[in-house]
């Protein structure tokens, strides 16, 4: 237990009420041929009702696994080794599969990265949307159909009536993602998790989908966890940001503060790689190398091999979170000073 | 759609024609059947009468042309042995063959799909290993040997079931079990791999994420997808089933068309053999045609029926 | 410090398992550790091959020698058996063990040669089709359709009954079985390989077709074809045994496992061992080969189904 102490700096009891979802010290391992790999390491996240949390990090950093674990959707080889996931006063990790089924798609819904393969190819779009409704709202077939048509309309799919009976392969990528979103919001969940909802789409479509998500969030008063590897997306829609690197959260901040002055060197690196109007992207100045796979995690700060401010103290033990100002936290021994 | 099906039918007819011709030529070129039918020393003059009667005094090519034109008139030749039309002989045996084959097929598909799905869902567990080991064993077993073992145990030792014949439903049990074990083994194996493939698709995760209970994920989301490749394979298994039933009908003295075939080749009864082969090949070809159509119905991505209005 | 100590402790505990000895090391090198079924299957196959090749050295009697005073004598492990005929005798008093050894030899021979014929023939046709494309390919695919539409055993039975029956004809007929599987496989693999950059490059260098196939294409598809052959082998053995069982395969005085079984079928009550022993030998042989085939496929070529 002592190892986890540094995470509990926020007073637990009263604070819990403030959040719709609170992930505390979640760790996930995968049992693979190469042994047990710790993929997510003591991750904590907090989402307030009606707000958008952006979870950002390079590909392979554990974003999807974190959210899948929270919803009990881990693939067979993955398992949670510690932590809890509080949602509306209940620990999701302690619920039975049946209780989770009632919750999934109803109170918490999820949208996945690749919409074309995330829809069942042998079922019509209409059937798949109606299914959510029939599962959780006991609607009759006709009522479910009427509601599904409304939803198709809501997510901006034209000619809903005609498209209701079509199959996913007859939809474009963007339209598939709209259908996925319709399916997810069918039961008006209080939390929507969108896992890289725009990564597989064309740039113009990306903007439309993000626009749609923000608009729905406001209309339905949902909270949103938006997973992305793209800080640009974060800038557009997030209220709060958590930066994840190699299975650990390294920085948390409200979005404006983060862009104003990133504290972790990794965040800074991500920002430097953003295209900007005022300067050309200098690829060389961005962080070199790639995010390490779990086999290559180093002790101490996992970012150390790519960090220009690394010194001997970084290699020893895991850097603890430091509270900086109101809602900001950073796990770095030598955080950036506001000067740069 | 009509165009697609028409082309398919044309191709199939062509295939059938090749099969029939090839078999005709190979069998007819194999020598004068009379020598094996009549005893040695039968006077040539007698033989000539029969040659003329059965039309085997002409050249092979002439015989072939006559055979084809007879077929188009619905005449499939007569048995050298009892002079009955080959068509009647084979068709009269069909109900028994269909009874055995149909029972086996239905049971094997149900058992194979169920066991294969269970193995996939319980992947890596005792159930999976048990079912798969049994499946491999079942199609490694020579079917006639399995038949003998079952006869030895259930008929000769325990005296529960009859060894041969087809008069009661009890007669059906042993031959259907023998054929069915092998067939369901290979279906189970295939269904398992098809299911595993489906289970790791993203849309299965979507189904879980939307809160569908386990059985609903399997029945409504996984199985319809796994059915698509499975249907093709089961279609191909039909040919195997017909071949296997020839052997099994013989072992159990089941009075079906397969046993007739074995008797007929022993007697070199050309017309009957040819009729049987024609019947089998058409069945397999028609079955494959149906599988094609079924495939299109199961998989909306393939537009066999999909000429848009 | 303390973690280090526990580590060392754990290691020393593990050590006996890591030092596996020579057998263990050998198993590991062949990727066999933990694969007990596969190892057992390989051992059985090795044993069968040994008996097929050298069995005649241990064969107690000529396989046709009759002992008319000892007809239908049970094996030594059954009541009334004797060491004289370890696996008993058949209806003519012939020694079942001797017949098994002889029959095994022919069964294995036909199975292996038949498989090689099918593999070579099918692969060759597949490669030819993929090379020439156009009408050659059309004809081949049509032949495949024809082959698939007639269950092979029916074709084989008809041919053997009508054309007559010699060992050569039997081997050829058995060899044809399954050619279409190799043909399809080879065709699709060569089509893919021919699109590969390096093959295009070598071709543009002006290397002859034969050379290209020999040096660059064949080595790439060989592994898959061999796995396919392993998977087909049990089917070929079963085909021969079925034909012989029905009396249309191997003819006396030669003998094969299926033929012994066919005879034993008539003495199922009086002398079940005549049928059961060869049946067991075939069953475990095909089972072993199938097990090894699956293992090979999973290791070398998971794309095959
Ligand atoms: N099914 C799995 N088996 C083994 N390792 C996995 C599996 N799924 C994910 N991982 C590992 O977990 C890590 C995090 O993956 P993921 O959460 O998908 O990253 P991302 O941040 O891109 O969403 C990766 O390093 C990946 O190798
Ligand atoms: S802890 Fe050290 S290595 Fe890690 S980010 Fe901070 S300065 Fe760099
Ligand atoms: Mg991801």
Q: Which residue has the tokens 């007879």?
A: B70
pLDDT in tens, B257-286: 889 999 888 888 888 998 999 999 999 999
CA B258 / ligand 3 centre spacing (Å):
58
Closest CA to C177 of A326, B239, A62: B239
Range of lowest pLDDT (A54-68, B98-112, C85-99, C281-295): C85-99
Q: What is the mean pLDDT of residues C33-49?
A: 87
Q: Which residue of C has its CA nearest to B283?
A: C149
Contact criterion met (CB below 8 Å) for C177 and C154: no
Instruction: List Cβ neighbours of C2 (8 Å cut-off, separation of 6 or more).
Output: none
Q: Phi/psi at B257 (nearest 5 deg)?
A: -65, -30
Range of lowest pLDDT (B41-55, B87-101, C6-20): C6-20
CA A83 / ligand 2 centre spacing (Å):
25
Contact criterion met (CB below 8 Å) for A118 and B206: yes
CA dist C139 and C126 (Å) reads 11
CA A293 / ligand 3 centre spacing (Å):
13
Interface test with A, best of B206, B212, B213, B298 (most A CBs within 10 A): B206
Closest CA to C263 of C280, C248, C240, C247: C247
Is C303 in the B-facing interface, judged by CB distances under 8 Å?
no
Which sign does the torsion angle of CA A87, A92, A94, A100 carry? positive
Contact criterion met (CB below 8 Å) for C260 and C273: no
List of chain A residues whose C-beta atoms are within 8 Å of the C-beta of residue B207: 120
Is C304 in the B-facing interface, judged by CB distances under 8 Å?
no
Q: Cα distance from B16 to chain C (closest Cα, Å)?
A: 7
Q: What is the mean pLDDT of residues B159-167?
A: 76
Q: Which residue has the tokens 């580590």?
A: C7
CA A63 / ligand 3 centre spacing (Å):
6
Segment 295-324 of chain A within 8 Å of chain B by CB: none
Contact criterion met (CB below 8 Å) for B156 and B163: yes
DSSP 8-state code for residue B167: S
Ligand 1: residue whose CA is nearest its atom 12? A39
Instruction: List Cβ neighbours of A326 (8 Å cut-off, separation of 6 or more).
Output: none
Helix (H, G, I), strand (E, B), or coil: what is residue A55? strand
Sheet strands (E) in chain A? 19-32, 35-48, 52-56, 78-87, 90-91, 108-111, 191-195, 223-228, 240-245, 248-254, 322-324, 328-330
Residue B169 has pLDDT above 70, yes or no: yes
The reply to whether residue C145 touches residue B15, judged by beta carbons under 8 angstroms, is yes
Chains that touch C (3 or more CB pairs under 8 A): B
Cross-strand pairs, A223: A191
CA dist A215 and A218 (Å) reads 5
Tokens of C111: 């199975």
Question: What is the structure's pLDDT at B246?
Answer: 92
Nearest to B240 among C142, C151, C287 (CB): C151
B35 confidence band (pLDDT: 50, 70, 90): low
Question: What is the structure's pLDDT at A176?
Answer: 93
DSSP 8-state code for residue C95: B
The reply to whether residue B284 touches residue C151, judged by beta carbons under 8 angstroms, is yes
The reply to whether residue A110 touches residue B209, judged by beta carbons under 8 angstroms, is yes
Ligand 1: residue whose CA is nearest its atom 24? A60
Q: Please give the number of the atom of ligand 1 that sits closest to the Cα of A294.
A: 25
Closest CA to B89 of B262, B271, B246: B271
List of chain B residues whose C-beta atoms are within 8 Å of the C-beta of residue A105: 209-212
What is the domain extent for residue C239? 36-60+95-266+276-304
- Other Cβ atoms less than 10 A from the Cβ of A162: the count is 9
| Average pLDDT score, chain B | 85
> Interface pTM (ipTM) of the complex?
0.87
Q: What is the mean pLDDT of residues A79-104?
A: 92
Q: Cα distance from B307 to chain C (closest Cα, Å)?
A: 27
pLDDT in tens, B194-227: 999 999 999 999 999 999 999 999 999 999 999 9
Ligand 2: residue whose CA is nearest its atom 6? A332
Cross-strand pairs, A194: A111, A226
List of chain B residues whose C-beta atoms are within 8 Å of the C-beta of residue A184: 210
Cross-strand pairs, A110: A193
Instruction: List Cβ neighbours of A101 (8 Å cut-off, separation of 6 or more).
Output: B211, B212, B213
Closest CA to B25 of B84, B68, B57, B74: B68
Q: What is the mean pLDDT of residues C273-302?
A: 86
Which sign does the torsion angle of CA C253, C259, C260, C263 carry? negative
If 0-12 CB within 10 Å is exposed, 13-18 middle and 19+ buried, where does residue A84 land? middle
B296 confidence band (pLDDT: 50, 70, 90): confident
Residue C162 has pLDDT above 80, yes or no: yes
Question: What is the structure's pLDDT at B31?
Answer: 66
The reply to whether residue A135 touches residue B202, judged by beta carbons under 8 angstroms, is no
The reply to whether residue A104 touches residue B201, judged by beta carbons under 8 angstroms, is no
Q: Cα distance from A74 to chain B (closest Cα, Å)?
A: 9
DSSP 8-state code for residue B221: I
The verdict on residue B243 lying in a domain is: yes
- Other Cβ atoms less than 10 A from the Cβ of C60: the count is 14
DSSP 8-state code for residue C70: S
Q: What is the mean pLDDT of residues B41-56?
A: 70
C271 confidence band (pLDDT: 50, 70, 90): confident
Q: What is the mean pLDDT of residues B139-164?
A: 84
If 0-12 CB within 10 Å is exposed, 13-18 middle and 19+ buried, where does residue A183 land? buried
Instruction: List Cβ neighbours of A230 (8 Å cut-off, separation of 6 or more).
Output: A56, A199
Number of domains in chain C: 1
Residue A339 has pLDDT above 50, yes or no: no
Using alpha carbons, list the distances in angstroms from residue A137 to A193, B144, C168. Answer: 21, 57, 72
Give, for ligand 2, the residue of A264, A307, A322, A331 to mutate: max count of ligand atoms closer than 8 Å to Cβ: A307
Determine the straight-line distance between the first and last CA of chain A, rounded to whole angstroms.
Answer: 36
Q: Cα distance from B210 to chain C (closest Cα, Å)?
A: 32
DSSP 8-state code for residue C84: T
CATH number at residue B205: 1.10.3720.10
Contact criterion met (CB below 8 Å) for A47 and A20: yes
CATH number at residue C119: 1.10.3720.10
Helix (H, G, I), strand (E, B), or coil: what is residue A88? coil
Is B261 in the C-facing interface, judged by CB distances under 8 Å?
yes
Check residues A177 and A324 and name the one with the higher pLDDT.
Answer: A177
Closest CA to C177 of C241, C220, C100: C241
CA dist A321 and A299 (Å) reads 16
B303 confidence band (pLDDT: 50, 70, 90): low
Closest CA to C259 of C270, C246, C269, C272: C246
Strands of the sheet containing A108-111, edge to edge, are A108-111, A191-195, A223-228, A52-56, A240-245, A248-254, A328-330, A322-324
Is B280 in the C-facing interface, judged by CB distances under 8 Å?
yes
Question: What is the structure's pLDDT at C32?
Answer: 73
The reply to whether residue B224 touches residue A117, judged by beta carbons under 8 angstroms, is no
Interface test with B, best of C40, C150, C238, C247 (most B CBs within 10 A): C150
A12 confidence band (pLDDT: 50, 70, 90): very low
**Cβ pairs A/B, distance under 8 A:** 77
Query: In this complex, does chain A touch chain C, defined as having at least 3 beta-carbon pairs under 8 Å apart?
Result: no
Strands of the sheet containing A78-87, edge to edge, are A35-48, A19-32, A78-87, A90-91
DSSP string, C195-252: HSHHHHHHHHTT--HHHHIIIIIHHHHHHHHHHHHHHHHHHHHHHHHHHHHTTSSS-T
Residue C269 has pLDDT above 90, yes or no: no
CA dist C91 and C99 (Å) reads 13
The reply to whether residue B15 touches residue C142, judged by beta carbons under 8 angstroms, is yes
Is B9 in the C-facing interface, judged by CB distances under 8 Å?
no
A16 confidence band (pLDDT: 50, 70, 90): very low
CA dist B123 and B196 (Å) reads 8
Query: Structural domain boundaries of chain A?
Result: 2-107+187-330
CA dist A25 and A4 (Å) reads 7
- Other Cβ atoms less than 10 A from the Cβ of B141: the count is 22
Residue C180 has pLDDT above 80, yes or no: yes
Burial of B92-127, coded b for 16+ CB within 10 Å and e otherwise, reads ebeebbebbbebbbebbbebbbebbbbbbbeeeeee
Q: Cα distance from A132 to chain B (closest Cα, Å)?
A: 6
| Average pLDDT score, chain A | 86
Ligand 1: residue whose CA is nearest its atom 5? A30
Is the omega angle on the peptide bond into residue B230 within 30 degrees of 0, that is, cis?
no
Using alpha carbons, list the distances in angstroms from residue C62 to A148, B29, C55, C56, C76. Answer: 82, 38, 12, 9, 19
Nearest to B209 among A102, A105, A136 (CB): A105
Residues of B in CB contact (< 8 Å) with A are 123, 200-203, 205-214, 216, 220-221, 224-225, 228, 298-301
Is A95 in the B-facing interface, judged by CB distances under 8 Å?
no
Interface test with C, best of B7, B20, B140 (most C CBs within 10 A): B140
A152 confidence band (pLDDT: 50, 70, 90): very high
pLDDT in tens, C105-138: 999 999 999 999 999 999 999 999 988 888 989 8
Check residues B59 and A118 and name the one with the higher pLDDT.
Answer: A118
Residue A194 has pLDDT above 90, yes or no: yes
Longest alpha-carbon distance in chain B? 85
Alpha helices in chain C (DSSP H): 2-18, 21-29, 36-54, 96-132, 134-149, 152-163, 167-176, 179-195, 197-204, 209-212, 218-245, 257-264, 272-300
Ligand 1: residue whose CA is nearest its atom 3? A30
Nearest to B142 among C37, C161, C241 (CB): C241
The reply to whether residue B239 touches residue C148, judged by beta carbons under 8 angstroms, is yes
Domain A2-107+187-330 is in which class?
Answer: alpha beta
Interface test with B, best of C144, C145, C180, C258 (most B CBs within 10 A): C145
CA dist A326 and B136 (Å) reads 65
The reply to whether residue B202 touches residue A109, judged by beta carbons under 8 angstroms, is no
Q: What is the mean pLDDT of residues A53-60?
A: 93
Is B237 in the C-facing interface, judged by CB distances under 8 Å?
no
Is C93 in the B-facing interface, judged by CB distances under 8 Å?
no
The verdict on residue B184 lying in a domain is: yes
Contact criterion met (CB below 8 Å) for B97 and B256: yes
The reply to whether residue B156 touches residue C268, judged by beta carbons under 8 angstroms, is yes
Q: Which residue has the tokens 């099969």?
A: B19
Residue C304 has pLDDT above 60, yes or no: no
Give the β-pairing of A240-245 and A322-324.
unpaired
Q: Cα distance from B241 to chain A (closest Cα, Å)?
A: 30
B309 confidence band (pLDDT: 50, 70, 90): very low
Query: In this complex, does chain C touch chain B, defined as having at least 3 beta-carbon pairs under 8 Å apart?
Result: yes
CA dist C10 and C16 (Å) reads 11
Nearest to B140 among C155, C261, C283 (CB): C283
């Amino acid at each position: 237990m002592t190892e986890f102490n540094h995470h509990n700096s926020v007073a637990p009891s009263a604070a819990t009420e403030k959040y719709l979802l609170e992930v505390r010290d979640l760790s996930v391992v995968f049992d693979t041929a190469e042994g047990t790999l710790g993929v997510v390491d003591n991750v904590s996240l907090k989402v307030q009702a009606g707000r958008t949390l952006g979870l950002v990090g390079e590909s392979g950093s554990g974003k999807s696994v974190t959210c899948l674990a929270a919803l009990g959707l881990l693939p067979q080889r993955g398992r949670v080794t510690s932590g809890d996931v509080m949602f509306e006063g209940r620990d999701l990790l302690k619920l039975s599969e049946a209780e989770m089924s009632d919750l999934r798609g109803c109170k918490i819904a999820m949208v996945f990265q690749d919409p074309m393969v995330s829809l069942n190819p042998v079922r019509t779009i209409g059937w798949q949307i109606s299914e959510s409704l029939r599962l959780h709202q006991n609607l009759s077939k006709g009522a479910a159909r009427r509601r599904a048509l409304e939803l198709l309309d809501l997510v901006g799919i034209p000619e809903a009536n005609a498209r209701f009976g079509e199959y996913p392969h007859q939809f474009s990528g963007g339209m598939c993602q709209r259908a996925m979103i319709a399916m997810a919001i069918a039961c008006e969940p209080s939390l929507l998790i969108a896992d890289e909802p725009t990564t597989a789409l064309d740039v113009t479509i990306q903007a439309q989908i993000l626009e749609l998500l923000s608009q729905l969030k406001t209309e339905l008063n949902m909270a949103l966890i938006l997973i992305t590897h793209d800080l640009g997306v974060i800038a557009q829609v997030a209220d709060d940001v958590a930066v994840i690197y190699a299975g650990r959260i390294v920085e948390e901040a409200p979005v404006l503060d983060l862009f104003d002055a990133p504290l972790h060197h990794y965040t800074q690196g991500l920002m430097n790689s953003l295209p900007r109007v005022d300067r050309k992207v200098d690829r060389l100045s961005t962080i070199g190398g790639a995010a390490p796979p779990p086999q290559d995690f180093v002790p101490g700060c996992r970012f150390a091999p790519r960090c220009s401010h690394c010194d001997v103290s970084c290699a020893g033990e895991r850097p603890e979170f430091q509270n900086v100002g109101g809602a900001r936290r950073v796990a770095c021994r030598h955080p950036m000073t506001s000067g740069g | 759609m009509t165009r697609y099906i028409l082309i398919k039918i044309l191709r199939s007819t062509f295939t059938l024609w090749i099969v029939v011709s090839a078999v005709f030529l190979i069998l007819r070129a194999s020598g004068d059947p009379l020598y094996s039918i009549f005893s040695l020393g039968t006077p040539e003059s007698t033989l000539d009468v029969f040659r003329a009667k059965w039309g085997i005094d002409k050249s092979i090519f002439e015989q072939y042309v006559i055979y084809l034109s007879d077929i188009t008139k619905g005449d499939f030749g007569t048995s050298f042995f009892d002079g009955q039309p080959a068509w009647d002989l084979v068709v009269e045996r069909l109900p028994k063959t269909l009874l055995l084959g149909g029972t086996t097929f239905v049971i094997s598909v149900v058992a194979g799909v169920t066991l294969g799905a269970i193995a996939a869902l319980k992947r890596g567990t005792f159930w999976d290993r048990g079912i798969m080991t049994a499946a491999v064993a079942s199609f490694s077993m020579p079917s006639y040997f399995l038949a003998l073992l079952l006869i030895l145990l259930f008929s000769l030792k325990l005296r529960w079931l009859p060894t041969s014949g087809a008069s009661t439903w009890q007669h059906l049990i042993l031959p259907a079990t023998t054929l069915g074990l092998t067939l369901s083994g290979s279906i189970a194996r295939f269904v398992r791999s098809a299911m595993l493939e489906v289970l790791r698709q993203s849309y299965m995760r979507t189904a879980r994420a939307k809160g569908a209970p386990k059985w609903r994920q399997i029945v409504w989301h996984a199985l319809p997808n796994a059915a698509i490749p499975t249907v093709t394979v089961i279609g191909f298994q039909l040919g195997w089933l017909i071949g296997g039933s020839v052997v099994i009908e013989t072992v159990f003295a089941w009075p079906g068309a397969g046993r007739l075939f074995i008797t007929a080749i022993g007697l070199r009864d050309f017309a009957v053999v040819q009729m049987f082969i024609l019947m089998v090949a058409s069945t397999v070809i028609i079955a494959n045609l149906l599988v094609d159509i079924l495939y299109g119905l199961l998989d909306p991505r393939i537009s066999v029926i999909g000429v848009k209005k | 410090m303390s973690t280090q100590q526990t580590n060392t402790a754990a290691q020393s505990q593990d050590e006996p398992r890591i030092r596996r000895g020579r057998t263990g090391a050998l198993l590991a090198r062949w990727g066999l550790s933990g694969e007990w079924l596969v190892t057992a299957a390989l051992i059985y196959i090795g044993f069968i091959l040994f008996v097929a090749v050298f069995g005649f050295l241990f064969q107690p009697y000529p396989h046709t020698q009759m002992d008319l005073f000892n007809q239908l004598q049970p094996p030594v492990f059954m009541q009334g058996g004797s060491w004289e005929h370890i696996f008993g005798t058949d209806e003519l008093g012939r020694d079942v063990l001797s017949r098994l050894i002889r029959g095994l030899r022919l069964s294995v021979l036909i199975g292996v040669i038949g498989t090689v014929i099918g593999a070579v023939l099918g692969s060759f046709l597949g490669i030819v089709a993929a090379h020439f494309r156009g009408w050659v390919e059309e004809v081949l695919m049509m032949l495949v359709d024809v082959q698939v539409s007639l269950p092979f055993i029916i074709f084989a039975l008809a041919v053997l009954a009508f054309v007559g029956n010699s060992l050569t004809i039997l081997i050829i007929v058995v060899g044809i079985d399954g050619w279409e599987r190799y043909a399809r496989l080879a065709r699709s693999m060569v089509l893919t390989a021919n699109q590969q950059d390096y093959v295009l490059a070598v071709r543009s260098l002006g290397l002859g077709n034969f050379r290209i196939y020999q040096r660059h294409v064949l080595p790439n598809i060989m592994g898959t074809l061999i796995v396919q052959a392993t998977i087909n082998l049990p089917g070929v053995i079963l085909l021969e045994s079925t034909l012989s069982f029905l009396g249309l395969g191997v003819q006396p005085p030669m003998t094969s496992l299926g033929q012994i079984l066919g005879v034993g079928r008539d003495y199922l009550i009086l002398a079940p061992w005549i049928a059961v022993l060869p049946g067991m030998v075939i069953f475990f042989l095909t089972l072993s080969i199938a097990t090894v085939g699956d293992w090979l496929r999973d290791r070398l070529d998971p794309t095959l189904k």
